[in-house]
Amino acid sequence: MPGILRNYKAGSIIYFIGDIGDNIYVLKSGAVSLIYHSIDTGEEVRDTIKNGEFFGVKSALAKRPREETALVIKPSQVLVLTTAEFELLVTKSVSVIQNFLRVFSNQLRRVGKQVHSFLDDSDTGDNQAELFKIGEYYLKNHKYKQAQYVYQAYLRYYSKGNFAGQAQERINAIADAMEGKGTGTYATISQEPEQEAPAAPEIQIDTQTTETRESMDIASKYYDGVSLFSQEKYEEAFNLFKALHAASSADASSAEYVPKIEFEMGRCLIALKRYPEAVSIFTGMIKKYPKDENLKDALYYIGIAYKHQGDKAKAASFFQKVLKMLPESPTDRKAKKELVALGVATS
């Protein structure tokens, strides 16, 4: 296994916002919080990293200053990778790619909600470049499904961006390469229009099993649903997640996506103000997957549903359950605010 395992005490700082570094981190055990300030409000935001998740990836790959401070909130063991070691790990493991894409999709969700303000910001070009570079990274490593997804995400968020033309060209070239059309080399896909393509080996399409391909299709469509939600297209997102739920429930290779899809279905129902249905979805998810990573958020949303239905007592009981769960997360702050609004004291 590449990388170095490091142990951190509670209160340690792995890196500060603004630091320059090319290390990429994977949380093996414990709890780490990423601290940054909301672009919209300027308020401090804390995202809790879950076991097995990567962090520090975007800034390391893009060779840009860290965008957040990584604070250890309880004794933790962290795998530290160089970018070269990360590339090696990614190219050898589909499961690692899927996990990284899941984490990356959360970042896209945040970008999606803030995209309109980004468009007026002087740093917009940097955000575009970072997203485009991630697509280039996957393309360079012959991970076509992942590259295709990122380029499509780029066009959704930056349809008139600086790299829109190149993103569309790459999507078309990837489609041709995967269908056995064209020359199919990385150089011909990624070259600038005015550049001459250097010699490069033929693209080798990954020989995955049908089961793996189906799993990757579920993953790709799942992230499409997340993107629709971030664009506030709640009905479209719900219908997509509902279809994916039926498909993934019948496909053993995609079973890991079932609780994630159920969680997103519940969020869509909350946004659509279909509160009894949302409670049913979240309750079923909690019963079937009591250790799921989204458990705390599911409890919070049940509280929100009861609040909107006028049942303040039940709402308060679920917000209190959120506060009793460890580790702490940004959801705790939201639950406390809801309790204060309900007139319930918090410790």
Q: What is the CATH number of the domain that holds 66?
A: 2.60.120.10
CB under 8 Å to 75, separation ≥6 — which residues? 7, 8, 9, 10, 30
Q: For 307-322, how does the pLDDT look when each residue is reduced to its tens digit (9 = 90+)?
A: 999 999 999 999 999 9
Query: Does residue 69 lie within any of the structural domains?
Result: yes
Q: For 33-85, how does the pLDDT look when each residue is reduced to its tens digit (9 = 90+)?
A: 998 876 545 567 888 888 888 888 888 877 888 888 999 989 999 999 998 88
Last residue of a domain, one of 168, 195, 222: 195
* Other residues' Cβ atoms within 10 Å of the Cβ of residue 290: 8
Environment class of residue 57 by beta-carbon count within 10 Å: exposed (0-12), middle (13-18) or buried (19+)?
A: buried
The CA-atom distances, in angstroms, between 59 and each of 18, 131, 331 are: 10, 11, 25
Query: Does residue 201 lie within any of the structural domains?
Result: no
Q: Cα(335)–Cα(341) distance, rounded to whole angstroms?
A: 10
Strand partners, 25: 55, 80
Last residue of a domain, one of 82, 116, 151: 82
Nearest Cα neighbor of 49 from 27, 69, 66 is 27
Of the candidate ranges 202-206, 220-224, 252-256, the one whose mean pLDDT is the lowest: 202-206
Query: Does residue 313 lie within any of the structural domains?
Result: yes
Q: For 154-178, how does the pLDDT look when each residue is reduced to its tens digit (9 = 90+)?
A: 888 788 888 888 888 888 888 776 6
Kindly indicate the confidence band of residue 104, based on its pLDDT and cuts at 50, 70 and 90.
low
Same-domain check for residues 277 and 217: yes
Last residue of a domain, one of 174, 195, 216: 195
- Residue with the larger pLDDT of the pair 72 and 142: 72
Q: What is the CATH number of the domain that holds 284?
A: 1.25.40
Query: Does residue 339 lie within any of the structural domains?
Result: yes
Q: Which domain holds residue 61?
A: 1-82
Q: Is the pLDDT of residue 247 over 60?
A: yes
Q: Is 39 helix (H, G, I), strand (E, B) or coil?
A: coil
Query: Does residue 88 lie within any of the structural domains?
Result: no
Kindly indicate the confidence band of residue 2, based on its pLDDT and cuts at 50, 70 and 90.
confident
Domain count, the chain: 4
Query: Mean of the per-residue pLDDT values for the chain?
Result: 76
Query: Does residue 180 lie within any of the structural domains?
Result: yes
Same-domain check for residues 98 and 188: yes
Q: For 257-306, how does the pLDDT look when each residue is reduced to its tens digit (9 = 90+)?
A: 889 899 999 999 999 999 999 999 999 999 998 888 889 999 999 999 99
Same-domain check for residues 223 and 242: yes
**pTM above the 0.75 mark?**
no
The reply to whether omega before 327 is within 30° of 0 (cis) is yes
Residues in the chain: 347
Query: Does residue 52 lie within any of the structural domains?
Result: yes
Query: Does residue 202 lie within any of the structural domains?
Result: no
